[in-house]
Amino acid sequence: MNDLSLLAARLRTLAPSCGPVRLIAVDGHAGSGKSTFASRLAALLDDAPVLHLDDLATHESFFTWVDRLSKQVIGPLSRGECARYAPYDWTTRTFAAPRTLESAPVVLIEGVGAGRRALRPHLARLLWMDLAAAESWERGRRRDGPALAAFWDGWTAAEAEHFSADPSRSHADALVRQLPMGYEWLEGPDAAAGANRSVTQRDHIAPPY
């Protein structure tokens, strides 16, 4: 059993945090590897449903999706129901047909702001992808190419403003770092508060790039 499987096993044992659901947030800077990590973790959680916050943000407003998330996702999950939300199409700049997010023992929310103040009361765990903003953004710019340079200029300014007003890292239960071969995670600031210990775990499965 690899260590990422151990992390998945630990998440299964948590108390439900949103009705019957254990809601796990994967937060971090844009380009830090949240989607890849969440996908790998979900696969080890019996293909746990994953909500991508890119489906809730829009060109007009990157971070004002809390009300829609609360009504369309948090509310239904807290009642043990499947959620239905309208994903945003970044090409047509319109909302697409509603999509179902199944209620399951563990549900992942990944994206910038997944650990924001308004969501933390509903979370069983907050995981932070621990890659610095500048390095994360550079990775994202390389991935998306020069055609989206102007978009990234606007995004990075908005993200910096968001985390300045509503930081997530300082409330994380675990800090996740991508290695050349897999991941490691350490106790986050919130989990380690008042304790003098540092626990490191490693998963030696090479992540895709």
Specify the pTM. Answer: 0.89
**pLDDT band, very low/low/confident/very high, at 192 (cuts 50, 70, 90):** low
> pLDDT tens-digit profile of 133-177?
999 999 999 999 999 999 999 999 999 999 999 999 999 999 999
pLDDT at 112: 98
Q: What's the rounded Cα separation, in Å, for the pair 54 and 67?
A: 15
pLDDT of residue 206 exceeding 50: no
State how beta strands 106-110 and 50-52 pair: parallel
| Average pLDDT, rounded, for the chain | 89
Look at residue 193 in the predicted model and tell me its pLDDT. Answer: 54
pLDDT tier for residue 200 given thresholds of 50, 70 and 90:
very low
pLDDT greater than 80 at residue 61: yes
Using alpha carbons only, what angle is made at residue 165 by residues 177 and 75, rounded to the nearest 5 degrees? 80
Backbone φ, ψ for residue 74 (5° rounding): -60, -45
Q: Is 123 exposed, middle or buried (0-12, 13-18, 19+ CB in 10 A)?
A: buried
The pLDDT value recorded for residue 155 is 93
Sole residue written with tokens 């096993």: 9
| Least confident among 6-10, 50-54, 160-164, 167-171 | 6-10
Q: Express each pLDDT in 104-132 by its tens digit.
A: 999 999 999 999 999 999 999 999 999 99
Say whether pLDDT at 2 is over 60: no
- Taking 50 as the threshold, does the pLDDT of residue 201 lie above it? no
Query: What integer is the mean pLDDT of 178-184?
Result: 86
Q: Quick one: pLDDT band at residue 15, thresholds 50, 70, 90?
A: very high
pLDDT at 65 over 50: yes
